[in-house]
Amino acid sequence: MNLTPEEYVNQLYKDDEQLEQVKESIRELGMPEVSVAPAYGRLLTILVQTSRAESAIEIGALGGYSGICIAKGLPVHGQLLSLELKEEYAKLAKENLEIAGFGTCVDYMIGPALDSLERLKQDGRKFDFFFIDADKENYPLYLEYAIQLANPGSVIVGDNCFLRGRTLNPEKNGPAVQGMRRFNEQIASDDRLVSTLLPDYDGLSISWVK
Ligand SMILES: C[S@@+](CC[C@H](N)C(=O)[O-])C[C@H]1O[C@@H](n2cnc3c(N)ncnc32)[C@H](O)[C@@H]1O
């Protein structure tokens, strides 16, 4: 029987021990097992590294899986700012980044990401890399903030663009689906961006800020 594309890719790459430990810690605490897919985690590292990003933001820390992937691509003096709604999730992510050796390059802002982003905008902060991976209904707003906080040449990545098929199903029209459709349409048409949407796993958008 044929392997699925995901199975085929997964068997080519050895499990990363640090990242497996993050998944285990998430399971132990009964947190949702929704870390970014391993192949997209590797892509995050490559995108951070090849874009030469020095400052990154992720929206949605969970247990630190994507945080480690992003931190791996940063230079020694690079910084990751991780926005997370739940204090207990940020605590676990912080612990896992420390175990992985990235404790000094990550900071957390706890609370609704829209509040944190507004504060960063008021403070005139700028970043080189963005990973959007939190509540789906706010993706269009997260994208607008990312563009406003972006240095020219920044990269903005968004996960779960297909919402496990719901985005593609015309009978599904809940707030998350509507938000995700708007986000996908925005990245495809916004003149400030050059974008693509990868049609594998749960859909991953990649945009380059002009
Ligand atoms: C899919 S998980 C993130 C997974 C993580 N990026 C990874 O791949 O390791 C989504 C996270 O977004 C957080 N979240 C949900 N709504 C949020 C909000 N309004 N502001 C900040 N974080 C939020 C959740 O608590 C959860 O930890």
- Cβ of 89 less than 6 Å from ligand 1: yes
Q: Which of 22, 59, 163 to mutate to test the pocket of ligand 1 (most atoms within 8 A of CB)?
A: 59
Q: Please give the pLDDT value at position 74.
A: 98
CA–centroid distance, residue 75 to ligand 1 (Å): 25
CA distance 103 to 100: 8
Residues in the chain, pLDDT under 50? none
Q: Please give the pLDDT value at position 90.
A: 98
CA distance 17 to 104: 20
The four Cα atoms 84, 201, 151, 63 give a dihedral, to 10 degrees, of 20
Using a 10 angstrom Cβ sphere, with 0-12 exposed, 13-18 middle and 19 or more buried, the burial of residue 131 is: buried
Give domain 5-209's CATH number out of 3.40.50.150, 3.30.300.30, 3.40.190.10, 2.40.30.30: 3.40.50.150
- Cβ of 113 less than 6 Å from ligand 1: yes
Tens digits of residue pLDDT in 138-196: 999 999 999 999 999 999 999 999 999 999 999 999 999 999 999 999 999 999 999 99
Return the ligand 1 atom nearest residue 83 CA: 21
